[in-house]
């Protein structure tokens, strides 16, 4: 899927990315800079996590990629073609859930999907009902298909929004907070669905607040803050940017802390029976042996994996507060 086959690929930018932006910038009329010189590359076949605090420019970026908003400057290419100019050729291959689902409350779930499908010029009216039924089935809404959408719970609306994105086979799915409003069981189902779609070769661009969600599902991620891209790359690399911490559980914390310092462990912190520190370069087995040799009774010894959240805080320096 490296090369884009829809129509004549745009020679200039038909690079390796399913989404490629260059110096993409959006300044709103009030002068507020929402997105500032974004250079994003989403590799084909990846599940790409798009992270950032509220107000960091994620949604504006997604809207520019979908041709809803005209960039102030810079370019955005989706499936190798420039947006918003090629929206009509590109968007039939893209399923999108943008800022939550939006439905006609007075129509049934099924009729909502029929309406959205009728808006797609490439959708075959003859297979419409069957495709709608499939999509409803896929998100677990088949039983509620005849109910008016205004009677749906938030989670059901979210599922219906996802179903709209799955009306046709897609090459790219853009999902903005897809598990918002779902119960844990629903979240699991949606994540399973995303993995399933990804294994079929669909590229998934997923924005989320839930870092563990990104960590569980995504192969790649990008982090935005205050309209700028802070970093992007494979999730494993991002998490590896911050080293893990060594954790020792012991009834002799003072002795353990002393021994660990001797062994070259920096930033040793003692909290009741837990002693933690930055993992040293050397083999941890030797550190453990040193503890035991020194007569420290060890209950637990291990490396605490750095979460993406730690990496995220390290990168943005602000956690998930709203950007000012």
Partner 1 sequence: MSRAEAVRRTSPLWTLGLFRSELLTTFRRWRTVALLGVLAAVPVLVGIAVRIETGDGSPAGGGGGGGGGPAFISQITNNGLFLVFTALAATLPFFLPMAIGVVAGDALAGEANAGTLRYLLVAPAGRTRLLLAKYATVMAFCLVATLVVAVSALLVGALLFPLGDLTTISGTRIGFGEGLARALLIALVVAASLIGVAALGLFVSTLTNSGIAAMATTVGLLITVQILDQIPQLHALHPYLFSHYWLSFADLMREPVHWDDLTKNLGLQALYAAVFGSAAWARFTSKDITA
Would you tell me which residues interact with partner 1 (CB under 8 A)? 1-3, 5-7, 44-45, 63, 66-70, 87-88, 91-94, 96, 98-107, 114-122, 124-125, 164, 169, 171, 201
Helix boundaries (H) for 200-244: 211-217, 235-240
Give the integer Cα–Cα distance in Å for 62 and 127: 30
66 versus 259: smaller Cβ distance to partner 1: 66
Give the contacts of 111 (CB within 8 A, at least 6 positions apart): 104
> Per the omega criterion (within 30 degrees of 0), is the bond before 272 cis?
no
Q: How far is the CB of 128 from partner 1 (least distance, A)?
A: 9
Would you put residue 320 in left (φ > 0), alpha (ψ -120 to 50) or beta?
A: alpha
Give SS3 for 60: helix
Residue closer to partner 1 (CB basis): 157 or 220: 157
The closest alpha carbon to 114, from 93, 133, 98, 101, belongs to 133
- What is the nearest approach in angstroms of partner 1 to the Cβ of residue 49? 21
Residue 106 or 237: the one with the smaller Cβ distance to partner 1 is 106
- Element at 116 (helix H, strand E): helix 109-118
Least distance to partner 1 from the beta carbon of 71, Å? 10
Pick 157 or 226: Cβ nearer partner 1 = 157
Nearest to partner 1 of 16, 273 (CB atom): 16
């Amino acid at each position: 899927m490296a090369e884009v086959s829809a129509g004549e690929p745009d020679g200039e930018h038909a690079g390796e990315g399913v989404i490629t932006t260059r110096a993409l910038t959006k300044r709103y009329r009030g002068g507020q800079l929402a997105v500032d010189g974004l250079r994003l590359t989403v590799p084909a076949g990846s599940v790409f996590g798009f992270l950032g605090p509220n107000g960091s420019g994620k949604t504006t970026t997604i809207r520019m990629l979908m041709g809803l908003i005209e960039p102030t400057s810079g370019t955005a290419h989706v499936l190798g073609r420039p947006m918003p100019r090629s929206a009509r050729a590109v968007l039939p291959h893209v399923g999108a859930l943008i800022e939550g689902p939006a439905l006609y409350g007075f129509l049934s779930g099924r009729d909502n999907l029929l309406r959205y499908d009728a808006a797609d010029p490439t959708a075959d009216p003859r297979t419409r009902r069957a495709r709608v039924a499939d999509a409803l089935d896929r998100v677990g809404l088949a039983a509620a298909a005849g109910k008016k959408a205004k009677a749906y719970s938030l989670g059901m609306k979210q599922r219906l929004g996802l179903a709209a994105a799955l009306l046709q086979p897609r090459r790219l799915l853009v999902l903005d907070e897809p598990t918002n409003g779902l119960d844990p069981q629903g979240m699991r189902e949606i994540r399973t669905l995303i993995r399933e779609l990804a294994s079929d070769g669909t590229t998934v661009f997923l924005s989320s607040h839930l870092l563990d969600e990104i960590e569980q599902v995504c192969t790649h991620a990008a982090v935005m803050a205050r309209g700028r891209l802070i970093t992007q790359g494979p999730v494993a690399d991002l998490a590896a940017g911050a080293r893990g911490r060594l954790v020792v559980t012991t009834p002799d914390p003072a002795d353990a802390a002393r021994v660990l310092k001797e062994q070259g462990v920096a930033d040793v912190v003692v909290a009741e029976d837990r002693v933690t520190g930055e993992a040293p370069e050397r083999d941890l087995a030797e550190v453990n042996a040193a503890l035991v040799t020194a007569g420290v009774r060890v209950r637990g010894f291990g490396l605490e994996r750095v979460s993406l959240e730690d990496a995220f805080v390290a990168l943005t320096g602000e956690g998930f507060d709203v950007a000012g």
